[in-house]
Amino acid sequence: MGSQISELINDGHMEGAVQLITPTLLSPTPFTTLDRIGKQIGSSSLDVSEPFYNLLASEKYMGSWVIIASALHCHLPTDLVRTLANCRDFIIQADVWYATDIFGERVAGPALLGDFHPALQVLSAWREDPNRWVRRCVGVALHLWAKRTCGNAEMVDRARELFYLIEPVFEEKNQDAVKGIGWGLKTMGRYYPDLAFVWLKEQINRLHRQPRPLMLRKAITYLPPEQKFAITRSQSA
C-alpha cells in the first residue's frame, strides 16, 4: 500500500492518497504495519510529500501520526532542521500525549542518534517552547536515545550533555510535560546511573532545585537504594 500511496503523492493526488489509507486508519492496524507504510511514503522528497502529511494530519486519526512520524524519520538525514520543525508543528496540531510520544520516539529521538549536536541545538529551543507537548517531547527523545545507546561507554560524554539539556525543565510544573521529561530521566538513569546520581546530587544538593514529586520519582527509579535515599534525604532536609 505504501508504494501505491507514494505514486499518488508523486503524481500530486494528495486527496486520493488520503482516501486510500483511510480504511487502514479506521481499522485496528498494528503500529508496525503503519510504520512500514510510513517508511515507504518517506521515500518521496519532503517537498513533494509535505502537502500529503498536512492533509493526513487534518484527519487526526491516531494512526495518522504513526505514518507521518515514520515518514518524517526518513527525511532526517537530508534535512534535519526542517524535519524537526515539521515534527514540532504536528505535535502541536495533534494536541495529545500519545502523538507526542509517537513523534518523540520516531523523529526527535532518532535525530539525536543520527546527528547528535545539530539535533541537540534544535531540542534546546524546545525546552522553552510555550506548548507543553513540545517540552514533553524533549524527554521522550532522551528516553529513546538512552534506550538505543544502552549505556555504551563511548556515549557517556553525550549522555552528560543530555542531562544538562534537561536541566532547565527539571522543575517543569505542567503534569503532561513532567511525565515525558521524567520518562527521559528515568531511562537515562537506567542506562547511565552514575551520571544520573551525580547530576541529581548537583541539582538537589548544590542548586536546591525543587522538581515535582513525580519528576523526582521517575528520575531515581533505577538508582540503588542508598543513592535514592541520599537524593530524597537531601531534598527533604
User: CA 34, 60, 175, 109: dihedral to nearest 10 degrees?
Assistant: 40
Residue 127: per-residue pLDDT: 97
CATH number for the domain whose boundaries are 95-237:
1.25.10.90
What is d(CA 170, CA 156) in angstroms, rounded to the nearest whole number?
Answer: 20
Q: What is the pTM of this model?
A: 0.95
Query: ∠ CA(16), CA(18), CA(21), 5° rounding?
Result: 110
Please give the grid coordinates belonging to residue 225: 537504594
Residue ranges of domains in the chain? 1-75, 95-237
d(CA 214, CA 79): 36
pLDDT in tens, 50-82: 999 999 999 999 999 999 999 999 999 999 999
* Residue ranges for the chain with pLDDT beneath 50: none
Q: Which residue, 78, 199, 69, 93, is CA-closest to 141? A: 69
Predicted confidence at residue 181, as pLDDT, reads: 99
pLDDT of residue 60: 94
CB atoms within 10 A of CB 28: 6
The rounded distance, in Å, linking the Cα atoms of 205 and 3 is 56
